[in-house]
Amino acid sequence: MRKRSKIDLFAGAAALFAVFIVGGGGASAGEVDAQDFTAVAKGRYLSILSDCASCHTVPQKSQPFAGGRPIETPFGKIVAPNITPDMETGIGSWTDDQFDNAVRKGIGRNGERLYPAMPFNAYTKMSRKDVLAIRAYLNTVTAVYNPVVANTLPFPFSIRTSMRVWDGLYFKQGEYVADPHKSAEWNRGAFLVDGPAHCGACHTPKTFLGGDRTAQYLQGSPLQGWSAPNITNDARTGLGGWSVEEVADYLKTGHNRVTAATGPMAEAVDLSTSKMTDDDVRAIATYLKSLPGDGKPQTAIAASVPEMAAGGAIYRDQCSACHGLDGKGVDRLFPSVANSSMARADDPTTVIRIVLRGARSVATDKEPTAPGMPSYGWQLKDDQVANVLTYIRNSWGNAAPAVSPDEVARLRASVTKRSD
Amino acid sequence: MDYEQFGSPVMARILPKKDVVIIGLGWTGSVMANELTDEGLDVIAIERGPWRDAPTDFPPSQMQDELRYRIRHELFLRPDQLTFTLRNKLDQQALPMRDWGAFMPPNGVGGGGVHWNAEMWRFLPSDFVLKTHLTQRYGADFLPADMTIQDWGITYDELEPYYDRFEYLCGTSGTAGNLRGQIMEGGNPFEGPRSRDYPTKAQAQPFSHTLFAKAARELGYKPFPQPSGNLSTAYTNPLGLRMGPCTYCGFCEWFGCSNYSKASPQTTILPVLVRKDNFTARDNSEVVKINTDRSGKHATGVTFVDSSGEAWEQPADLVILSAFSMFNAQLMLHSGIGQPYDPKTGEGRIGRNFTHQTISSVNGFFDKTKFNFNPFIGSGSIGMCIDEFNGDNFDHGPLGFVGGGYVGQVQTGARPIESALTPPGTPKWGAAWKTAIKDNYLSTVKPGTGVHGSFYAYRDIYLDLDPLYKDRFGRPLMRMTIDIKDNEAKQNRYLTDKFADIIKAMGATSLAKTYRTAPYDATTYQTTHLNGGVIMGADPKTSAVNRYLQSWDVSNLFVLGASAFPQNAGYNPTLTVGALAYWAADAIRNQYLKKPGPLVDA
Amino acid sequence: MEARSGPLFSRRSLLLSTAALLISTSSRSTARTIAGALPWEPNGGNPPVAAKLGPWEFFSVDEGRAMEALADRIIPPDAQTPGGKDAGSAVFVDRQLAGGYGAQEGHYVRPPFIKGMKNQGAQSEGGPRKEYRDGLAALDKACKAREGGKSFADLTDDRKDAVLKNIEDGKLELEGVDGKSFFALAIKDVQTGFLADPIYGGNRDMAAWKMIGYPGARYNYLDWVGRHNEPYPLPPVSMIGRAEWTTNNSGAR
């Protein structure tokens, strides 16, 4: 029994539209020939760059792009729709204009505004041709009957007209324009970061309305119980300590000498960045490293402070067997906490969470080991977690604000119910 | 409990067919699964115990727990799930091993590879042709009348490339002793020739191990570091898997490794294997039978029971039995594959040539004001050893026995419950005991398996099904009939005395020497190097599998593991077990798959 | 849809055996299919279960008294180090008997129980719980009969030692119990508790480890393996830490 509602984007309106349908092959009307191999291949690659699969596929269910995956937003959960070419519950009956409007303008099929959980404010950087190539590719995936009720945010966010205001504040429509003073590689990187790869969706902090704080572009942001790190070239908290090759390596394999991707980034590496070309990951690296950090100075906390001494004892007894007495870990096995900007981040959410719950790093074909960090939540009390992190953040040349037991207690309570 | 509800017989549900079903996902199952998935086959591995992984199951926050993992042996099979009965002689009644003692069988993904010491020894070239070699040198009459040793059906030279392969898979740390025929300083001068050096250098040795080597050298021996699967440096293996350096924690045997520095299926194979589309594993599912067709000559798959009591049938074209030596033998008996061995007639394939290891040790007590060994620092395969008394490396003529073993200070650590020892004559309790452990803990040398001798095969040391005791499925337990024969007792006495001389020469004030004597004791630990029962050989009358580990009875069944050893040599078995697995995998990939059927004429 | 093969075992035996199995294994015991990636879940694993402070969980008041007295003779207190009682050995034994060790968890306990040769291993139906109940009762009974009506705990230390020595030498037999075997068991368990991690109730404050010089639950000796014949300087640590892990103004959990 399919629920029909006015707000439901995808159910049952197909019959009202006279659209020429080609069995699972999707609409043949349109600017891009669905049978064009080049367009489909290009579209497939663009869908990888755009990481459509991340939101639109339920993990471990072998129904790519069939939707149904709940996306966490600060306002509640919103469920990603079915974008397979299914005529009734997918986008098989959409026109090219409707598809392009959704992806690049944030306007749904019936003219309603989409929530920016769909990162149209990034995808706007792509060209119409790019987007229709994605469509050509999506037309080739298996059509799956899977009705999805997309609008699940609580009132008042369920009223989509409020998006008009949001769009006015935060949505800057328009394709990417190359900077003629910069190299082709830099421009490619800027296009990817701000466009299909939509890095800012996680790495740029948001206002309370969920729009980008552009003054802190890519300087890190909390989400889903993690803190996405600063990915500008800041020496202390960003990519300043990595070479372009090391950034590219991280994106391509999920690992480098210093650290490994885990949590939501593990998924981004698995589904998207590890499948990009070497040139593209290099371009992203080049662009990111061109963004200056804020260079705020930070003084290290003295080793003699009681919290540092306690943290040092814990580190020596518990952490050093993997992360080393010198904090340098083991290449591509145990992160180098001595050199980790993640460890030094002003927002310690991710490091607290990893210590409490453990973490699995991503496996890629080039780096299949996927080492895991054990969970210490059962063993270390809040003050002990705080002190060992304070110690790590202020040893071997590191400097960062102390972590407090209250921060640990709050995070411990808030992640208890999470299953990820 | 209302039994009538459950009175009806159980029907197994049939699963979709796979190309290969692998019984047991330990070392040999993992090697074979990786090889056959590379060949493009669709492989399922069924493991009786749970999936295991370092960050969840052996983290460094809780692994250092001697009570839990050694004394209560939590990682191991529960006898309640499956055990054996044991007797020494044919005219005795076998009784169940209600708790483990003499050995400790593994359970779970990774099998014994999770909690072994990672001691990585090659056998000697003469070990593979033992019967021929000893008969030629000493004459047939020199061997005891009831000794049933055999040649293996393959030679060291044939196996050498596979030894190399497993050593490199594991990142083995060692010093070569014989490099392509050239004897190298610092290595084992008695070893067979190796084609290239070890992948990583030998581990560092703590104080007492170094002191042992010095004493041994001064007595004219050639000590060398024990080859170790606890790595001396970070290493990336041929599958691209990263391993870390061992940190000498002293929690090796009985324990999983917390920091990816011990070779195991988890660190060397499984992360690559699970990513393959054509591989699936099922844990907590026990295979209870290998099914054959009406002719009994062709396996059709296996039947297994999962944790909710459901029975399933997994059909497959090729069956790999890799469940650990003893469970291999047991499953062959329960499946009715191969004639069971009868010690009275000497006929039958399954259950013959069952062997263990001949183990003893010498503890040394030293002056605490002069010697501080920090004995808690160690790794599973740390140690300085001498091989002068192994195999046929020495003249047995005047001695009246055959066989031998390495001896060495191979102390792996000093966890206090088992290592707070007192010199001989100290009361077992009271103030004297308390003072003695305080005065001796740091200055005691406790090698553990310091004398590690061979255990040859005998007519009346064998495996069969017990007539009385049953397992939880109502099937008979497997019965072990095993004893220490005069030959092994003599061998052990000789080796132990030689070993004691070296410990004394280290400067010990007093020694506590134990010999291995009859009767075989089911209550004291003697390694889990249980072998035989499904042995390999050239003669189908006296072996169960051919030189490729293919069953003589059922040609689409291969049986991997130390069950294939016709007798045990004076070395730890796993490197040979792993090499044989690669050797069998090669035979399957290059010969069997092209033309399924017997690879050797019976 | 699914074909069925022939009958295999009785359903009763499968369900009973599997149920027992699920209770006795400590790690995950539900069958899973693993494919595609290494399994992961947060807070994975089985941390150790700490012994709880509080009243006896297995011993009666009298048994607990006798056990404490026994522990203090097996490991007497002295000026530097506590005895078995203050180190918590009796608590350790109590908690172990209340738990899996006492219940012979995981052991093969199917009949028949036939007495065999010593080297065939214990064939005891009752297990440690029965041995302690019977043994402690018999110990007190024997003392009351011979020592002027006093139970074991009420004897002087010298008398206690004499009684124990007589049991050990076979000169004093305990009624209905193999006294030698019971005393050997008590020695083993008391000494085990003394040397185990404090999380299990014994070895309080790591007193035993401090006494012998064992650094405890450490994992990294990379910087010490090459330092020969030098005393190791760091204090012992248990699985729940050591004093140095906490500042004086610690935040509570």
Q: pLDDT tens digits for B315-324?
A: 999 999 999 9
Q: What is the dihedral of CA B427, B432, B434, B438, to 10 degrees?
A: -110
Tell me, yes or no, whether A298 lies in a domain: no
Window 282-321 of B: residues touching C by CB (8 A cutoff) are 282-285, 288-289, 291, 303, 305-309, 311, 313
Distance CA B287, CA C229 (A): 52
**For chain B, what are the domain ranges?**
1-80+103-152+264-354+530-602
| Residue A59: per-residue pLDDT | 79
The CATH number for A361's domain is 1.10.760.10
Tell me, yes or no, whether A269 lies in a domain: yes
Subunits that touch chain C (at least 3 Cβ pairs < 8 angstroms)?
A: A, B
Burial class of residue B423 in the structure, from the number of CB atoms within 10 Å of its CB (0-12 exposed, 13-18 middle, 19+ buried): middle
Looking at the fold, whether A310 and A228 belong to one and the same domain comes out as no
| Residue A152: per-residue pLDDT | 63
Looking at the fold, whether A145 and A231 belong to one and the same domain comes out as no
Looking at the fold, whether A141 and A277 belong to one and the same domain comes out as no
Q: Does the pLDDT value for residue A297 go beyond 80?
A: yes
Vertex B432: Cα angle to B428 and B434 (nearest 5):
80
Q: Does the pLDDT value for residue C4 go beyond 70?
A: no
Looking at the fold, whether A208 and A93 belong to one and the same domain comes out as no
| Residue A118: per-residue pLDDT | 87
| Residue A150: per-residue pLDDT | 66
Residue A156: which pLDDT band, with cuts at 50, 70 and 90?
A: low
Q: Check CB contact under 8 Å for A420 and C223.
A: no
Looking at the fold, whether A19 and A162 belong to one and the same domain comes out as yes
> What percentage of chain C reaches a pLDDT higher than 90?
81
Looking at the fold, whether A115 and A35 belong to one and the same domain comes out as yes
Q: Which residue has the tokens 């707000």?
A: A7
Q: Does the pLDDT value for residue A19 go beyond 60?
A: no
The CATH number for A191's domain is 1.10.760
Tell me, yes or no, whether A260 lies in a domain: yes
Q: How far is CA B138 from the centre of its chain?
A: 29
Query: Does C43 contact chain B (CB < 8 Å)?
Result: no
Q: pLDDT tens digits for A234-248?
A: 999 999 999 999 999
Looking at the fold, whether A268 and A342 belong to one and the same domain comes out as no
| Residue C29: per-residue pLDDT | 65
Q: Does the pLDDT value for residue C15 go beyond 50?
A: no
> Which residue intervals of A50-147 are DSSP H helices?
52-56, 96-100, 120-123, 128-138
Work out the minimum CA distance from C178 to partner chain B, whole angstroms: 18
ipTM (interface pTM): 0.94
Q: Is C59:C91 a contact under the CB 8 Å cutoff? A: no
Looking at the fold, whether A267 and A330 belong to one and the same domain comes out as no
Looking at the fold, whether A32 and A132 belong to one and the same domain comes out as yes
Q: Which residues, in sequence order, are CB contacts of A342 under 8 Å at separation 6+?
A: A229, A259, A335, A350, A351
- CB neighbours (10 Å) of residue A244? 20
Which amino acid belongs to residue B382?
Answer: I
- The arithmetic mean of pLDDT across residues C16-27, rounded, is 41
Distance CA C128, CA B363 (A): 30
Q: Which residue has the tokens 């008294």?
A: C65
Residue A385: which pLDDT band, with cuts at 50, 70 and 90?
A: very high
| Residue C220: per-residue pLDDT | 97
Q: Check CB contact under 8 Å for B240 and A333.
A: no
Tell me, yes or no, whether A162 lies in a domain: yes
Q: Does the pLDDT value for residue A64 go beyond 70?
A: yes
Domain end call among A119, A148, A170? A170
Secondary structure letter of residue B368 according to DSSP: T
Strands annotated E in A187-299: 221-223, 226-228
Q: pLDDT tens digits for B182-207?
A: 999 999 999 999 999 999 999 999 99
Tell me what the pLDDT averaged over chain A comes to. Answer: 88
Element (H, E) at B44: strand B43-46
Higher pLDDT, B2 or B398: B398
Chain A residues whose beta carbon lies within 8 Å of the beta carbon of residue B53: 372
Tell me what the pLDDT averaged over chain B comes to. Answer: 96
Query: Does B62 contact chain C (CB < 8 Å)?
Result: yes
| Residue A34: per-residue pLDDT | 59
Which of A29-33, B68-72, B140-144, B402-406 shows the lowest mean pLDDT across its residues? A29-33
Beta bridge mates, B226: none
Residue of chain B minimizing CA distance to A366: B240
Q: Which of A257, A333, A365 to mutate to test the interface with B (most CBs of B within 10 A)?
A: A333
Residue B385: which pLDDT band, with cuts at 50, 70 and 90?
A: very high
Secondary structure letter of residue B455 according to DSSP: B
Q: Check CB contact under 8 Å for A406 and C217.
A: no
Q: Which residues, in sequence order, are CB contacts of B4 under 8 Å at separation 6+?
A: none
Q: Which residue has the tokens 């990187």?
A: A189
Fold of B1-80+103-152+264-354+530-602: FAD/NAD(P)-binding domain (3.50.50)
Q: pLDDT tens digits for B420-448?
A: 999 999 999 999 999 999 999 999 999 99
Residue C25: which pLDDT band, with cuts at 50, 70 and 90?
A: very low
Query: Does C35 contact chain A (CB < 8 Å)?
Result: no
Which of A144-158, A299-313, B7-21, B223-237 shows the lowest mean pLDDT across its residues? A144-158
Q: The tokens of A154 are what?
A: 């609580």
Element (H, E) at B331: helix B325-335
Which of A34-48, A140-154, B2-16, C89-103 shows the lowest mean pLDDT across its residues? B2-16
Distance CA C240, CA B65 (A): 11
Distance CA B85, CA C116 (A): 12
Q: Does the pLDDT value for residue B5 go beyond 60?
A: no
Q: Is C90:C189 a contact under the CB 8 Å cutoff? A: no
Q: Does the pLDDT value for residue A29 go beyond 70?
A: no
Vertex A368: Cα angle to A366 and A369 (nearest 5):
130
Tell me, yes or no, whether A179 lies in a domain: no
Q: pLDDT tens digits for B498-540?
A: 999 999 999 999 999 999 999 999 999 999 999 999 999 999 9
Tell me, yes or no, whether A378 lies in a domain: yes
Q: The tokens of B45 are what?
A: 């591995």
Higher pLDDT, A116 or B597: B597
Q: Check CB contact under 8 Å for A321 and B234.
A: no
Window 251-280 of B: residues touching C by CB (8 A cutoff) are 251, 258-259, 270-271, 274-275, 277, 279-280
Q: Check CB contact under 8 Å for C29 and B284.
A: yes
Looking at the fold, whether A115 and A25 belong to one and the same domain comes out as yes
Cα dist from A194 to A172, A189, A215, A277, A290, whole Å:
12, 8, 15, 17, 14
Cα dist from A309 to A77, A301, A389, B473, C98, whole Å:
43, 11, 12, 57, 39
Higher pLDDT, B198 or C23: B198
Looking at the fold, whether A322 and A404 belong to one and the same domain comes out as yes
Domain end call among A170, A204, A227? A170
Which of A202-216, B75-89, B203-217 shows the lowest mean pLDDT across its residues? A202-216
Looking at the fold, whether A164 and A25 belong to one and the same domain comes out as yes
Nearest Cα neighbor of A7 from A132, A158, A169 is A158
Instruction: List the domain range (segments joined by +) for residue A138.
Output: 14-170
| Residue A77: per-residue pLDDT | 82
Q: How many separate domains does chain A show? A: 3
Q: Is B437:C212 a contact under the CB 8 Å cutoff? A: yes
Tell me, yes or no, whether A105 lies in a domain: yes
Q: Is A224:A357 a contact under the CB 8 Å cutoff? A: no
Work out the minimum CA distance from C142 to partner chain B, whole angstroms: 21
Q: Check CB contact under 8 Å for B272 and A321.
A: no
> What percentage of chain A reaches a pLDDT higher than 70?
89
Active-site positions of B?
Answer: 529
Q: Check CB contact under 8 Å for A368 and B59.
A: no
**pTM reported for the whole predicted model:** 0.93
| Residue C43: per-residue pLDDT | 86
Q: pLDDT tens digits for A397-412?
A: 999 999 999 999 999 9
Residue A165: which pLDDT band, with cuts at 50, 70 and 90?
A: confident
Q: Does the pLDDT value for residue A11 go beyond 90?
A: no
Tell me, yes or no, whether A67 lies in a domain: yes
Residue C152: which pLDDT band, with cuts at 50, 70 and 90?
A: very high
Chain C residues whose beta carbon lies within 8 Å of the beta carbon of residue B446: none
Residue B9: which pLDDT band, with cuts at 50, 70 and 90?
A: low
The per-residue b/e assignment along C47-71, b for 16 or more CB within 10 angstroms, e otherwise, is bbeebeeeebebbeeebbbbbbbbb
Q: The tokens of B180 are what?
A: 């392509």
Q: Does the pLDDT value for residue B569 go beyond 70?
A: yes
Expressed in angstroms, the distance from the first to the final Cα of chain B is 52
Query: Does C38 contact chain A (CB < 8 Å)?
Result: yes
Q: Which residue has the tokens 């992190």?
A: A389
Domain end call among A238, A264, A289? A289
